[in-house]
Structure 1
Amino acid sequence: MYANYGVCIVTKTNEPLSFGGADRRYYVLEATRKRGGTVYVPMDHEDFLRPILSRNAVLDLVDRFPLIETDDFKDSNSHTVEDHFKQMLRENDCLQAMRVAKTMRERIAEQESKRHIPSSMYTRLYDQAVGLVLSEFSAALDMPEDEVMRIMHESDPDALARMA
């Protein structure tokens, strides 16, 4: 797992590259999601990389999903709110991504119940969080993302409800 890219495959290690005049060694990663692309991570920043969760850890998180509390952070400045939740996603922690997804789902539903168009910030954060969760769960369970969504729905009928 790497930052906001989700599950990546390490294609090269110790790759010498020069960016901005500085020679460093890099991990070369290929993202597995649609966003795709090649990602270069300096080897001295490997703390931003982590292995995917185990199958048992994922199944435990699926069972705990209904119990995960939403984040109640609010601010009158939408940029501050967005920065708060983006920082949670940058923690590279699946539980935090699930919390962001659940929080955004709740806020989107609240806006829709008032017959308002959901905030594009909420939908972006929701989509990003769900993408990270599905990417990791799909890899850990070795199944397609739509099957992961079915399992999540069995645990919590509203889980990832906005996903098509």
Structure 2
Amino acid sequence: MFSIGEHVIHPGQGVCTVTGIDEDAPTPMIILECKQGHAKTRMQYPLAQSDRLHPTVSREEAENLIEHYDAIECDTFTERNSSLEESYFKKLIKEGAPATVRVAKTMRYRIRDAERHAKKPSSYYTRVLKEAHRRSVEELAVALDCSEEDVEERLSVVESAFEASVN
């Protein structure tokens, strides 16, 4: 069970904060507050499904993901149907970090690879990259107890170093 003030990963929303638990309701609920962009949303989540929520990565795990970004392997999953491929990566994103970081790195690599071969990257690459990156930044910021801008800056440095080593 989660405690009030704890940060959790909601499969559909990403990072949320537990703000209450209503065990007296007809269907017991966990009260969550999530932040997407500049808006905050409060929602109720069934206590019976709390096993689908999980804590964010620890500070140590977050530092390790950033420091060893170059060691994260890109996902090699491919499918003839791009819709099925996109569904696969979107499912991974729901797991939170480190999966979100790996998916974002994979999409960056695939976009860059297509551009290097003078091809237009699949439009789903950009959609998945945007969501994976957003969720990575949110979760790492919570784990590191810093701003999302600080995480963006740190990720930018390691991503640039990785791209330089690939080229």
State the TM bucket, normalised to the shorter chain: 0.7 to 0.9
How many pairs were matched up?
Answer: 154
Q: Is the 8 A contact 2:13 2:34 kept in 1?
A: yes
Give the corresponding residue for 1:109.
112
Residue identity opposite 2:36 in structure 1: R
Partner residue, 1:74: 78
Q: 31, 39, 44: which is aligned to 1:40?
A: 44
By how many angstroms is 1:149 displaced? 1.9
Higher relative contact order (CA 8 A, sep 6+): 1
How has the CA–CA distance of structure 1 residues 156 and 105 changed in structure 2, closer, same or farther, with 3 Å as cutoff? closer
- Deviation track 1:88-132 (CA, whole Å, cap 9, x = no partner) reads 112x24011111111111111122224444322111111111111
1:4 and 1:89 in contact (8 A); partners too: no
Question: Residue 5 of structure 1 aligns with which residue?
Answer: 13
Matched with 1:26 is: 29
Give the TM-score normalised by the residue count of structure 1.
0.82
SS, match of residue 76 in structure 1: coil
- AA partner of residue 68 (structure 2): R
Residue matched to 1:126: 129
Runs of 4+ in structure 1 over 3 Å off: 114-118, 153-156
Using the aligned pairs only, state the percent identity.
Answer: 31
Q: Supply the distance in 2 between the matched residues of 1:13 and 1:86 (Cα, whole angstroms).
A: 29
Q: Which residue of 2 aligns with 1:20?
A: none
1:84 aligns with one of 69, 85, 88: 88
1:16 Cα deviation after fit: 5.8
Q: CA, structure 1 residues 86+50, in 2 after alignment: closer, same or farther (shift >3 Å)?
A: same
**8 Å Cα contact 1:55/1:140 also seen in 2:** yes
Could you say what the CA RMSD is over the residues aligned between the two structures, in angstroms?
2.2
**TM-superposition CA deviations, 1:38-84 (whole Å, max 9, x none):** 33211011112222222122101111211011111111111110111
Secondary structure at the counterpart of residue 41 of structure 1: strand
Structure 1: 5+ residue stretches without partners: 18-22
Structure 2: give runs of 5+ residues left out of the alignment. 1-8
